[in-house]
Chains A and B, each alone.
Chain A
């Protein structure tokens, strides 16, 4: 058994934000489906998508959607890996790798959003 892990903040924050992002994603997915499928029949045409994303509010929404989904996914992956003995032995590597992937996903997706 390893020694005490005082002042570790990733575990409690990971747990709290996993719940928060889970709830947010539920609302975000519904809103996303609403604007892409329920408002009009041609909402998925390229021109319409570009037109929608020129609105800063929609852009901000999609960025928040991206950040929530990425966090939920990579924090979930982190928890799955830490559930194994292999993950437990390589805890620091698991934490660094999954959180780096989260940052990369948010930054890369953010750059794509800016180009619109």
Chain B
């Protein structure tokens, strides 16, 4: 199956932003990323976009397709229709065409200490940390995040407050707080329970709606919020 498609791409050259149209014939099985590569190789070599693995694992190619953040490599052109409007992700400054500056996004991710913290860290004599399947399932889904930024792009709270940690970072914090092997819960909770943390979420769950890995960041944020509230209220009586 083949169909003539129109790619309307939101371009940015450093000064001005404009729409540019590209028409070509898309074959069945072609992803939006294949389309972007086709344009770059055959129609306009100056088109800039990010991509790497082409299989939904690296999270580099997230762009807005017809208004919704998705992975270009996991979206079939013919599933979308004959007109595709492709824009860079929201809530991040655009550098060129479809490439956005994700520094802030990763800085926030780093800020919540997304790694196992233990008192008895001893790399000379590593110790096996046992976990039951139930303990694993408590956080497993949230380990699947590929940090593509789709949730952050769709989040209205991230749009109005630039220092809001965002769904991805809070999900990462919850992933470690819910891990039975972790001992850094207290520290992490104090990092996410500030005014720029979990309280800014409006729970409109747009992050869960757009997550390409279906990990439900909105659920993690709500759980993190409940955990923070209980922790804070308990800490008063300690």
Measured CB to CB, the residues of A under 8 A from B are 1-2, 4-9, 11-16, 79, 82-85, 87-88, 91
B229 to chain A: which residues have CB within 8 Å? 12, 15-16
List 12 other contacts, CB 8 Å, given A15-B199, A79-B199.
A1-B108, A1-B163, A4-B191, A5-B194, A5-B197, A7-B190, A11-B232, A12-B193, A13-B233, A16-B233, A82-B199, A85-B161
Contact of B195 among A6, A7, A91 (CB under 8 A): A91
| 7 A-B pairs in the complex with CB atoms less than 8 angstroms apart | A5-B195, A7-B235, A11-B195, A16-B229, A16-B233, A82-B161, A88-B163
B233 to chain A: which residues have CB within 8 Å? 9, 12-13, 16
B190 with A83: CB separation less than 8 A: no
Chain A-chain B contacts (Cβ-Cβ < 8 Å), number: 69
Distance (whole angstroms) from the CB of A98 to the closest CB of chain B: 13
CB-nearest residue of chain A to B231 = A12
| Residues of chain B at interface, number, CB under 8 A | 24
Q: Whole-angstrom distance between the alpha carbons of A4 and B228 in the complex?
A: 13
CB-nearest residue of chain A to B228 = A12
SS of B interface (majority): helix
Q: Whole-angstrom distance between the alpha carbons of A4 and B112 in the complex?
A: 10
CB-nearest residue of chain A to B108 = A1
- Given A16-B233, A82-B200, decide whether A11 and B194 contact each other with a Cβ distance below 8 A: yes
Closest 5 CB pairs of A and B: A5-B194, A12-B232, A12-B229, A6-B190, A11-B199
B190 to chain A: which residues have CB within 8 Å? 4-7
A88 with B195: CB separation less than 8 A: yes
Is residue B160 contacting chain A, with contact meaning CB distance below 8 A?
yes
A84 to chain B: which residues have CB within 8 Å? 160-161
B108 to chain A: which residues have CB within 8 Å? 1
CB-nearest residue of chain A to B187 = A4
Distance (whole angstroms) from the CB of A95 to the closest CB of chain B: 8
A14 to chain B: which residues have CB within 8 Å? 199
Q: Whole-angstrom distance between the alpha carbons of A7 and B233 in the complex?
A: 9
Distance (whole angstroms) from the CB of A47 to the closest CB of chain B: 46
Contact residues, B186-238 vs A (CB, 8 A): 190-191, 193-197, 199-200, 225, 228-229, 232-233, 235-236
Q: Whole-angstrom distance between the alpha carbons of A12 and B107 in the complex?
A: 25
